[in-house]
Structures are given as structure tokens and as C-alpha cells.
Amino acid sequence: MNTLNNIKSLIALAILFAGAQLNAQNTSPEPVSGKTLEKDYINRNLVYPEDDLKQDNSGKVVVSLRVDKEGFGSNYAVKSTFSEAASPIALNLVKTILWVPATCDGIPYECDHEYEIDFNAKSYKRYWKKHERVDVPLEFEADTSNAIFEYRQLNETARPYFADGGNIANHLYNNLRFPVEAKEREIQGTVRLSFIIEKDGSISNIVVINSVGGGCDNEAIRLMQETVWIPAEKNGKYVRSRNMQDITFSIGNHNFQDGNSY
């Protein structure tokens, strides 16, 4: 009997181990910017249906899609919703997300996926009491496709540009807060970010291409999240475009957070 029990225990352990190995070898699609940054992007760009907001009507919208081996989505559909008015809002937001594709043994593969947008009326009201929504003066219609144009594919006069007056370099320099950890450890260098400028001028899909550490990556992301752009234009319509930005953290430069130089 003891032998039989031992065999059963070994079989159970083997099944658990096999399951753990299977999970370790398979991954589901994830936003290229990571879950936390993507949620923040959703919070910044979600527009609550007016009637639902007045009634404090909250709930979730689940969007189904297919993510290909390159990380692009297709076959979008609303699987479930708490409000018909919220459905197209959630659908349009999910369509802007770029993905790290699912993998099996490290090999990307195409699969079906679901993404959930949470509509919480109280949280939404609290968020916009602390933040200010910036309206971008737009002249053209938005392209109805989700095509993303590389910088080189755009005419020089049709490329996106910083909307908040002046120059993006000045904005970054004047608002950069040198991270305490980087200062204490004398970390410096250039963070390079890749991101998409959406058709409404917002920033999405931020990815750190060159990392510095010491809090510099997070500070660079914060700076870019606060920028607003006039989007790229193609054939008389606003389009999505992929962009890069370098943000340098240099010891010895003036620090505008506390007036000191490092």
C-alpha cells in the first residue's frame, strides 16, 4: 500500500512539474510597453460615456482580437460590455495597442487573445481632478486604418511635431528631474525611447530601447507621457507614426527640481 501511495505521489509531482514546465515554455501576448504603462495609457486616453458617468455606471468591456507573430492585432470584436456606449471607446483603445506576440518554446505564434478595459466612474472622476486634459488643435480627419508610418515614410513638412509651443528639447530640459538614485550612484547616460504618436496626438506603446537605470528610464517615460503632439499627416489625413526620442541624464547639468547642479 505504501508503495502504491508513493507511486501516486510521484505521478502527481510529475504532473505538477510538467504543468510548470509547460507554463514556463509558453507565454501569452502582452502590450509592448508592459502592463503598467499600458494601463496608464488607457487611463490618460479613456473618454467616459457621458450618461454612464452621470449615473456612476461602472463595468468592464472585454475585447477579443487575434495577435499575429509580429505583434499586430486583427479581428477585433467586443465580447462583453456593461454599456453599449462604452463599447466603441474600448474597441478603439485596444486597436492602438502593439503586442509582444505569444510564444511557444521561445517561438512566436499567432493566437486569439482578450483584453479588458475597466470603466470605473469614481476612479475616472478622481483621476481628472488631479490631471488636466489637453485638447490638441487638429485640422484634418483621422485615417481610418491603423497603419503605422515610419519617420522616413513621411514628408518633412508632414511629420509630427511638439504641440506645446517651443521645442521638445527645451521641454525635456526644463522639466527633467534627475532621479535621486542616479545622483547618489553617479549614473548618467542617454535613455532612448520608441513610441507611437497616435492620430489624436497622444503617446502610446512606449518602449525603452536603450536603458540607463537608476530611475532614469522611468523619468524619461514620465517626460514623454506628458508631451502632446500634432500627429503626422499623410494624404490629407492624420496618421499614426513611429518615433524615437533620446533623453540624456548628465551629471553636472542644472537640475530644475531643486536648483542644484550635479
For the residues 200-226, what does the mean pLDDT come to? 95
> Using the 8-state DSSP alphabet, how is residue 151 labeled?
G
Domain boundary among the residues 70, 104, 130 is at 130
For the residues 147-152, what does the mean pLDDT come to? 93
For the chain, the domain total comes to: 2
Q: What CATH number is given to the structural domain containing 193?
A: 3.30.2420.10
Domain that holds residue 118: 27-130
Residue 21 resides in a domain: no
Give the mean pLDDT of the chain.
88
* Angle at the Cα of 98 from the Cα atoms of 198 and 162, rounded to 5 degrees: 25
Q: Let me know whether 124 and 157 are in one domain.
A: no
Domain boundary among the residues 109, 130, 151 is at 130
pLDDT computed for residue 116 by the predictor: 97
Band (134; pLDDT cuts 50, 70, 90): confident
Q: Let me know whether 37 and 98 are in one domain.
A: yes
Q: Let me know whether 107 and 167 are in one domain.
A: no
pLDDT computed for residue 163 by the predictor: 87
Residue 193 resides in a domain: yes
Q: Let me know whether 120 and 74 are in one domain.
A: yes
Q: Let me know whether 113 and 191 are in one domain.
A: no
Domain boundary among the residues 130, 153, 176 is at 130
Band (1; pLDDT cuts 50, 70, 90): low
Q: Let me know whether 181 and 122 are in one domain.
A: no
pLDDT computed for residue 7 by the predictor: 43
Listed as own residue / partner, the contacts of 164-168 with beta carbons closer than 8 Å and 24 or more positions apart are 164/134, 164/227, 164/228, 168/227, 168/245
What's the sign of the alpha-carbon dihedral 22, 26, 28, 32?
A: positive
Q: Which residues contact 254 (CB under 8 A, 6 or more apart)?
A: 261
Q: Let me know whether 77 and 148 are in one domain.
A: no
Does residue 57 register a pLDDT over 50? yes
What torsion, rounded to 10 degrees, do the Cα atoms 72, 75, 79, 82 define? Answer: 70
Can you tell me the distance from the alpha carbon of 182 to that of 167, in angstroms, rounded to the nearest whole number? Answer: 26
Name the pairing type of β-strands 237-249 and 232-234: antiparallel
Q: Let me know whether 126 and 149 are in one domain.
A: no
Residue 255 resides in a domain: no
Residue 3 resides in a domain: no
C-alpha cell at 160: 509630427
Residue 102 resides in a domain: yes
Band (256; pLDDT cuts 50, 70, 90): very low
C-alpha cell at 85: 456606449
Q: What is the pLDDT of residues 90-119, one digit of tens each?
A: 999 999 999 999 999 999 999 999 999 999
Band (62; pLDDT cuts 50, 70, 90): very high
What's the sign of the alpha-carbon dihedral 221, 71, 210, 244?
A: negative
Q: Let me know whether 151 and 84 are in one domain.
A: no
Which residues in 163-202 belong to E strands, given as ranges? 189-197
Residue 84 resides in a domain: yes
Does residue 159 register a pLDDT over 90? yes
> pTM to 2 decimals?
0.84
Residue 211 resides in a domain: yes
Q: Let me know whether 214 and 118 are in one domain.
A: no
Does residue 253 register a pLDDT over 90? no
CA-closest candidate to residue 97, choices 73, 61, 113: 73
Residue 90 resides in a domain: yes
Band (131; pLDDT cuts 50, 70, 90): confident
